[in-house]
Chains A and B, each alone.
Chain A
Amino acid sequence: MARELTPDELGQLLGAYALDALAEDDERAQVESHLGREVSARVEVAELREVAALLAAVGSPPPPDGLWERIEAALEAEPPRLVLPLDAARERRARRGIGIRVAAGIAAASAVAAAAAAFVVTDEMAQQEDRLAVVEAQMGVEGTRRAALAAMASPQARVAHLEPADPAAPRAASATVVTMPGGDAYLMAEALPDLARGRTYQLWAMTGDHDHPTLLSSAILGRRVDVVSFHAPDGSLGFLITDEPAPGVTTSVRPTLLSGEFA
């Protein structure tokens, strides 16, 4: 390892670091440990990267034809639960290998291979399952809650209280849906228990005929539900919530957990 750089010298490297322009791993490692210690250095790198991104973004050409279609195809080839780390191309190839082995194992209907494959998939799903909770915490659930409460206070709001569909259900879970003209809508859940990994709550809008409503999937809620914003379809009569395998289903065959119509 080369000599230890002084804080001043590390500071001088922040611009080059922000542009991935450090040549030596050792220099980079020292800058990164400096960033771990110094908030102001982290802020500076983030700010310099914003500026660099502007240089790249302004006047950029449209992306090439067909690239989105290839990305879309890759999404289908690689289900979202499979982790695809960008930083480790080798690991990525290894994981792709796992994916292929999963498919081959199931195709061969080998019980052993399928069990091993199921384990791998479950493990990878577990890593992905918490993403909803994490992403939403980061994007500001509090902001959504404030928006939901503001909507509720609006005279134009319509409110539906969702109660357990089975009156004998022991749990005190409930939810409130608020919709605004135009379809902006919020769901606030109360005491809805966390689901097991691999499951997700799903919200459905009841539309059409009152006695035989058509259910439209309105949101995949994740396995932990607090406050969620979504779009309510026109003519919604009310809403219901089911518990489905992640990442949700197009048609539910599961019993309704909570349901309610507009007051």
Chain B
Amino acid sequence: MVSDQEFREASDAQLVVAVGRFHQGALAEAYRRHGGAAFGLALRITNDRALGEEVVQEVFLRLWNDPEKFDPARGTLRAYLLAHTHGRSVDLVRSESSRRLREERGARRDRGVDYDLEREVWDLALAEHLRDALRTLSDDERSAIELAYFGGHTYREVATLLGQPEGTVKSRIRSGLGRLRSTLVATGAVGSGEPWLES
């Protein structure tokens, strides 16, 4: 059997292969690497620890059950897991009942997340790059992205919240994310290659 130490040293893609072989230790390692980010994102969107945990559980069970749905040619495991976390969290908060619940809680809203930017060296270096990259965005671009991504709002809702035209908001989301990416590529924080292949 492969030891937990082996999994610690494995690449994300190797972990997914091992998950395909029903190695629970590989799933545990994927969770160790990305579970915190998934939970943090689900919690920010749902603002509800129980819902957040439910989402994370679903996301990792899905990786366990359908590892072949992750295609490394289309991006990193982190992006794959977080895209599912995001989609599922957004589905939950957009359902009527939970929206009401969420609005009721709005007044005493507490994100409840104490960010620890010094968790890991990787994080630290990347956080630095990300902070620099975020400075290249206008306040409007940053707000639009945050409300859409972390707030789980549609671009129409974002437009209402910011009192801006819808067309402006959707292009700000796109241009803002695009600029973040170019800045991060320029500093070497993310790869410039385009591994995404024609499928």
User: A residues touching B (Cβ–Cβ < 8 Å)?
Assistant: 12-16, 18-23, 39, 42-44, 46-64, 67-68, 70-72, 74-75, 78, 80, 82-87, 128, 130-132, 134-136, 138-140, 216-220, 222, 229-231, 247-248
Contacts and interface: CB of A to CB of B under 8 A. Distances in A.
Nearest to A134: B68
Given A46-B74, A57-B78, A63 B36 contact: yes
Given A12-B171, A67-B39, A74-B61, A53 B83 contact: yes
B39 A64 contact: yes
A39 B198 contact: yes
B22 A56 contact: no
Given A15-B175, A43-B194, 8 more contacts: A12-B167, A19-B86, A51-B177, A51-B180, A55-B149, A56-B40, A70-B57, A135-B17
B190 A54 contact: yes
Q: Which 3 A-B pairs have the closest CB atoms?
A: A15-B174, A135-B20, A60-B40
Given A13-B170, A51-B181, A218-B1, A20 B86 contact: yes
25 contacts: A14-B174, A15-B171, A21-B154, A21-B158, A47-B194, A50-B181, A52-B177, A55-B145, A58-B117, A60-B115, A63-B38, A67-B53, A67-B56, A68-B28, A68-B31, A71-B57, A71-B61, A72-B28, A78-B61, A84-B62, A84-B66, A132-B20, A134-B68, A139-B13, A247-B22
Contacts of A230: 2
Contacts of B56: 63, 67, 71
B85 to A, nearest CB: 8
A45 to B, nearest CB: 9
Contacts of B170: 12-13, 15-16
Interface string B154-189: 111110000000010011011111101100100001
Interface residues of B, number: 95
Interface in B25-48: 27-28, 31, 34-41, 44
B123 A67 contact: no
A72 B41 CA distance: 21
A58 B114 CA distance: 12
Most chain B CB neighbours (cut-off 10 Å) among A44, A60, A138: A60
Given A59-B116, A60-B41, A63-B56, A54 B148 contact: no
B61 A140 contact: no
B115 A222 contact: no
A217 B1 contact: yes
Nearest to A13: B170
A54 B86 contact: no
Q: Which of A52, A56, A218 has the most CB of B within 10 A?
A: A56
A68 B38 CA distance: 12
Contacts of B85: 56
A63 B181 contact: no
A56 B41 contact: yes
Contact of A86 (B1, B27, B58): B58
Nearest to A47: B181
Interface string B49-62: 10001001111111
B190 A62 contact: no
B20 A49 contact: no
A18 B153 contact: no
Given A56-B37, A63-B35, A248 B22 contact: yes
A206 to B, nearest CB: 15
Contacts of A47: 181, 194, 196
B66 A83 contact: yes
Contacts of B67: 131, 135
Task: Specify which of A42, A57, A135, A217 lies most central, judged by the most chain B CB atoms within 10 Å of its CB.
Answer: A57
Contact of B113 (A61, A135, A217): A61
A216 B73 CA distance: 34
